[in-house]
Amino acid sequence: MMVQPDLSVVIVSYNTVDLLPACVESVLAQEAASRQIIVIDNASADETVDILRHRCYRDLELIANRENVGFARACNQGLRRCRSDLVLFLNPDTVVQPGCFAAILDYMAAHPETGLAGTAILEPDMRPHPSVEYDYPGHHYVRDELDG
């Protein structure tokens, strides 16, 4: 059996105390060979940082910014801490379905020419959620429509 590559998961949070624990727990429940979880908190006014510290999540690295540096800069903070070749950016309202990481790792191992991949996004009732939408004057496209 082929050894799976490592996966680093970067989650940017801002006032997501009600969402982030479920996201982190779904990441921890994945049966990946190894993973690194990096949460960047953008100076939340709620108890996000306290909850993360109190729950003592294993394999979680917390960066608690003193000011909100914005989403893109926080993503870059997390990216600089990644120790793996594969990086998954997750929003804190994401709950990762069982087997997701295994599918990502298997796909990337089988397709080394691939530099960027994404996963299907599902609504809580399991309906597909469009991950890419384009709005132009008089036109609206959803990724599934573009894939033809």
Residue 45, domain CATH: 3.90.550.10
Cβ atoms of 48 and 60 within 8 Å: the answer is: no
Domains: count for the chain: 2
130 versus 43: the higher-pLDDT residue is 43
Does 74 lie in the same domain as 125? no
User: Are residues 34 and 95 located together in one domain of the fold?
Assistant: yes
Does 126 score more than 80 pLDDT? no
- At 120 the pLDDT is 72
Top-ranked range on mean pLDDT: pick from 32-36, 70-74, 102-106, 119-123? 70-74
**Res 148: pLDDT:** 38
Answer yes or no: do 46 and 15 share one domain: yes
Stretch 131-139: mean pLDDT: 63
* pTM of the entire predicted model: 0.82
Range of the domain at 70: 7-116
Does residue 52 sit in the same domain as residue 64?
yes
- Both 60 and 38 in a single domain? yes
- CA separation for the pair 36, 28 (Å, rounded): 10
